[in-house]
Each structure stands twice: as C-alpha cells, then as structure tokens.
Structure 1
C-alpha cells in the first residue's frame, strides 16, 4: 500500500474515534445520566479532554491524512515528487498536533479516574453534601465502597466507564498518529513506494 493510501486509512480511523470521544465527554456532563448543577460536575469534565484534545484537535490531522492519498502537488525544483514529499512531511507536524491533543485527553482521563467522581456523600450519618470521596483511588480495587456515593445513582460506574473509554481512545489515537509520523518520515526519505514512476505517494 502506498504511504498516501495508508495515511488515508489512518485518517478514516481517527474520525470515528474523535466522535466517540466528544460524545463521551458530553455524557460526562450528566453524571449517572441525570442533570445536576454545574458546580456539582466533576472538575476534570470541564477540562474537556474528549471534546478539545481527542475531538477537535484530532480532526485536523485526520483531514490532512485523508487528503494525502489524492495529493496532486505539482512538484518543485524540477522534481515531480517534491511537492508530495513536502505534503507527507507536513503530515508529521499535524500528527504531532494529534499526539498532543490525545495526550492531553489521556492525562485528564487518568487523573479523573484516579480521583473519582463528585457525588453526594454522608458526612456524619445525617448531613449530606457534595464531595470527592475517592481521591486516593481506592475505589478502583474495592467496588464495595462505591455505595459511599449516594447520588447521582450509578455516578461512579458512569464516571469510570466514560473516562476509561476516553483513556483507551486517546491511547489508540496516539498510536495511530505515531504510526503516521513513521509513515511520513519513510515517504520523505524513501520516496515513492507504488512503482510505475508516477510519483504517487
């Protein structure tokens, strides 16, 4: 497969991943599937790792990768493939943007998974207030303490599931963008891979 065609496959793969990340981040604004006051939404949700990092920032490299297959640069300095090589080189820069965006989402997700959700808890058996009962991350290995969160119902599983999806999707996006960095470097250094002398990447 030509390097341009391979990049297009990577771009096609990145788009649904970005959409999933945006949807997950939006759902996190409704803990347990319910609407709550804005100050009661887990703080890491407001960092919008899935919307900005793995979502919007990932659209740019995805579109660039998609366009590499049909790149029709006219060349430069008398070299017909020069323009295409430059396009592949520029794709490396956009891949770096994708890595940065997905990396941001991964960090936010990892921190949020460790801290746990904000929810209603008992203070002294009678009073209730919103707080973060799992800041030490113990709830990950002990599901029995999930009942500490009284409201919203299923807030812990909702939080953990969606941020876990964001974490995994971000790691996959980083891997795909890293593959394009290697693909772009090989295309720049080695040139054509399709044969036939048409200069297609």
Structure 2
C-alpha cells in the first residue's frame, strides 16, 4: 500500500468523524432538545467538557498535520465519553429507580423509568456518548495510521511506494 495514498485517506477520514463528534457533543448539551437543562446545570459534567467539540472536533480538524496532538485529543474525547457513559446522565430520577447503582448500563428495562426529567435522557446519553466513543476511537485509529504512514514515508523516502520496474533500453549507435 502506498504510504502517501494511505496517509491522505486517513487524513480525509478524520474530517467526517470530527464533524460527527462536534454534532454529538452539541446534542448532549441539550437533552430533550431543550436549552433549560444546560442553563440550570442539569447536564453531565462530561458533556459540558465539550471534548467532542474542541478535542475530537476542532483540534482534530485543525491539527491533521500534528498527528500526535490529534491522537491525544481523540484519546481524551474517547476517555471522557466512556466516563460519561459509565456514570450515567444527570437527571431528576425516581427515588426507587435511580441510576446511581453500578452497572445501570446492563439494566435496560430501567432506562425509560429511571429519569423523570428530562424524559428519555438515559437513552439520549447512551446513544450520543456511544457515537462519540466510536467516532473518537476511529479518529485514534486514523491518526495513528496517519502518523505511522507519515513516519514510514519520511524514513523510506517519498518515493517509497513507487518501486516500479522499468525497462531501460539503450540505443546503440548504428
């Protein structure tokens, strides 16, 4: 595989995943598509970090040439999203069906009734934090691949994959 082609492909794949991360994080800030939860501090800490917007979104978009910084930013978003997913949403919950018990992720029958307000926030958070984890995980792979191919091209030269055998014919004077 040509390192230049692979590097360009990995770099181009970062753009749509950065957009997905920014959109998913923006939606996490507005559960039930209402702004009042954000203004009243009823949004999870991990969502308000906006790592999907500034880390996996903007920094990855602006730092394609800085693959190490992009790897760090995508990794930060991946870990932050995993933490938000594991800890669960911040919501007004029923006293008997609260989400503060461990392993709420494995009790899907409790999701619809666990939070009174915002309605459906458990599934909302699970879907969007999962999207952030998948997209930032892909960004990690693409950034590492981009860095690896750039290093390989640097060490082996820009014509690394252009090792075609050509016939040299020399004209003999007649």
TM-score when scaled to structure 1?
0.73
TM-score when scaled to structure 2?
0.83
Give me the whole-angstrom Cα distance separating, in 2, the residues matched to 1:44 and 1:136: 18
Give me the whole-angstrom Cα distance separating, in 2, the residues matched to 1:148 and 1:20: 28
Q: Which runs of 5+ in 2 are unaligned?
A: 165-174
Give me the whole-angstrom Cα distance separating, in 2, the residues matched to 1:152 and 1:16: 29
Aligned to 2:119: 153
Aligned to 1:100: 72
Aligned to 1:13: 13
**CA, structure 1 residues 137+166, in 2 after alignment: closer, same or farther (shift >3 Å)?**
farther
Aligned to 2:24: 24
Cα contact 1:10–1:180 (8 A) shared by 2 = yes
**Greater mean alpha carbon deviation, residues 181-190 or residues 136-145:** 136-145
Aligned to 1:52: 54
Number of residue pairs matched by the alignment: 159
Deviations 1:143-198 (A, max 9, x none): 122212111111100000000000011111001111122212211111122248xx
Equivalent of 2:143 in 177, 187, 192: 177
Matches within 5 A, 1:79-90: none
Aligned to 2:104: 139
Aligned to 2:133: 167
Give me the whole-angstrom Cα distance separating, in 2, the residues matched to 1:143 and 1:118: 17
- Higher Cα Rg, which structure: 2
After TM superposition, what 4+ stretches of structure 1 lie above 6 angstroms from structure 2? none
Q: Which runs of 5+ in 1 are unaligned?
A: 65-93, 125-132, 197-201
| Cα root mean square deviation, aligned | 2.0
Give me the whole-angstrom Cα distance separating, in 1, the residues matched to 2:36 and 2:120: 14
Equivalent of 1:111 in 83, 98, 101: 83
Deviations 1:70-118 (A, max 9, x none): xxxxxxxxxxxxxxxxxxxxxxxx1111110001101110100010001
1:122 paired to 2:89? no
**CA, structure 1 residues 49+143, in 2 after alignment: closer, same or farther (shift >3 Å)?**
same
